[in-house]
Amino acid sequence: MSYTMYSQRDDRWQRVMLGESSTTIGANGCLICSLASGLIDTGVHIAGLPPDPSVFNRWLARHRGYVAPGGSPRERSLFVFGSLAALGVEMVAYIDARNQPAPTDRLKEALGFKDQFVVLHVDFKPGGAVQQHWVRAVEWYDDDVEVMDPWITGSSQQSYLMARYALPTWDTPARAIYRMVIYRYKKTEVEFPAVSPSRRAIVQEGLDTYQPYGE
């Protein structure tokens, strides 16, 4: 399938500050790059502009799309998963699969709809302490998932979940997915706040930084 590829290490935005913080899109922007890819492919625009990572990051900073971790009030860089409702994008499901197999039937179903997109929390280096990394799922296969991986640079970011983010002993994608978030574009922008307090309470729990700009 055809999909938009956004690398967090693209020179156009890798040095842009993530939200209002001391970190950058290049270091910690995997989630917003994955989301931006889904937004543009479902037809979302921001003030008439395509929501590339730089445009999207600026919108989030101005529309309460980031919050600060406890104890660091000036580091507003943690993504609020319900904030996309102000763009007319509904969070259909937020699934925490850290302690149970991920429901891959939900993933397969969501990928069948043109108005939906899915982002996945994976382990950047499987086998040790989990390093949070986010990718966008784009196509389902029987034993694997094609993903748009923001860490990859170059003309193609084609990658596969089991090949890159699973140990050889893991049998199915259900083991390699730690969180799954499904969105649907309803094509109706709404005024903020647009979601219930419980939905707005779902926030990215932290940021993990990998080795700087290299595999």
In a domain, 10, yes or no: no
- Print pLDDT tens along the chain (215 aa): 689 999 999 999 999 999 999 999 999 999 999 999 999 999 999 999 999 999 999 999 999 999 998 878 889 999 999 999 999 999 999 999 999 999 999 999 999 999 999 999 999 999 888 899 999 999 999 889 999 999 998 766 679 999 999 999 999 999 999 999 999 999 765 554 555 545 558 999 888 876 543 44
Q: Which residues contact 140 (CB under 8 A, 6 or more apart)?
A: 104, 107, 108, 111, 146
Type of residue at 173: P
In a domain, 155, yes or no: yes
In a domain, 150, yes or no: yes
Range of the domain at 109: 25-200
Helices (H) and strands (E) in the chain, counts: 7, 8
**35 burial type by CB count under 10 A (0-12 exposed, 13-18 middle, 19+ buried):** buried
CATH code where residue 151 lies: 3.90.70.10
Q: What is the pTM of this model?
A: 0.91
In a domain, 121, yes or no: yes
